[in-house]
A and B are shown apart, each in its own frame.
Chain A
Amino acid sequence: MSFSVPNRRIVLTATASLVATGASGLFAPALAQDIAPTPSMRGGANNYLPGAPIVERIGSGGFLMSGTVRRAGDGAPLAGQRIQIWAHTTEGHERDPHSHGATLTDENGVFRLEMPQIVPAFGQPHGHLAYDGEDFETVFLRPVMRRAGDTSLSADFVLKPA
Chain B
Amino acid sequence: MNSVKATLIWFALTLAVTVPVFVAARSPLLAWREPVYIAAGFAGVIAMALLLAQPLLAGGYLPGLPARRGRRVHRVVGAALVLAVIVHVAGLWVTSPPDVIDVLLFRSPTPFSLWGVIAMWGVFAAAFLSVVRRRLSLRVWRIGHTSMVGLVVATSAVHAILIQGTMGTVSKTVLCLLALAATTKVILDMRVWRHLFHKRG
Which A residues fall within an 8 A CB radius of B? 41-43, 45-47, 88-91, 93-95, 119-125, 142, 148
Given A46-B96, A47-B96, A90-B32: A123 in contact with B102 (beta carbons within 8 A) = no
- What 0/1 pattern do residues 24 to 45 of B give for CB contact below 8 A with A? 0000010111100100000000
Secondary structure type dominating chain B contacts: helix
Contact call B99/A122, Cβ cutoff below 8 A: yes
Contact call B98/A122, Cβ cutoff below 8 A: no
Secondary structure type dominating chain A contacts: loop
A94 to B113, CA, bound (A): 18
- What 0/1 pattern do residues 80 to 113 of B give for CB contact below 8 A with A? 0000000000001001101100100001111011
Minimum Cβ distance to chain A for residue B113 (Å): 7
Out of A42, A89, A90, A142, name the residue touching B107 (CB < 8 Å).
A42
* Further contacts, 11 of them, CB under 8 A, given A42-B107, A120-B165: A42-B108, A43-B98, A43-B107, A46-B102, A47-B98, A90-B32, A93-B37, A93-B96, A123-B112, A123-B163, A124-B110
Pairs across A and B, CB under 8 Å, 18 listed:
A41-B109, A42-B107, A43-B109, A45-B98, A47-B98, A95-B96, A120-B164, A122-B92, A122-B96, A123-B112, A123-B113, A123-B162, A123-B164, A123-B165, A124-B110, A125-B164, A142-B109, A148-B164
Minimum Cβ distance to chain B for residue A150 (Å): 12
Name the B residues within 8 Å of A41 (CB-CB): 109
Name the B residues within 8 Å of A148 (CB-CB): 164
Minimum Cβ distance to chain B for residue A117 (Å): 9
Minimum Cβ distance to chain B for residue A67 (Å): 18
- What 0/1 pattern do residues 99 to 134 of B give for CB contact below 8 A with A? 100100001111011000000000000000000000
Out of A91, A95, A123, name the residue touching B110 (CB < 8 Å).
A123
Out of A46, A119, A124, name the residue touching B32 (CB < 8 Å).
A119
B92, B98, B112: which has the most chain A beta carbons within 10 Å? B98
Given A93-B34, A123-B165, A142-B109: A42 in contact with B98 (beta carbons within 8 A) = no
Minimum Cβ distance to chain A for residue B97 (Å): 9
Query: Looking across the interface, which residue of chain B has its beta carbon closest to that of A147?
Result: B164
Name the A residues within 8 Å of B33 (CB-CB): 93, 121
Name the A residues within 8 Å of B165 (CB-CB): 120, 123
A93 to B31, CA, bound (A): 12
Contact call B32/A43, Cβ cutoff below 8 A: no
Name the A residues within 8 Å of B31 (CB-CB): 90
Query: Looking across the interface, which residue of chain A has its beta carbon closest to that of B92?
Result: A122
Query: Looking across the interface, which residue of chain B has its beta carbon closest to that of A142?
Result: B109
Minimum Cβ distance to chain A for residue B41 (Å): 10
Contact call B102/A43, Cβ cutoff below 8 A: yes
Name the A residues within 8 Å of B107 (CB-CB): 42-43
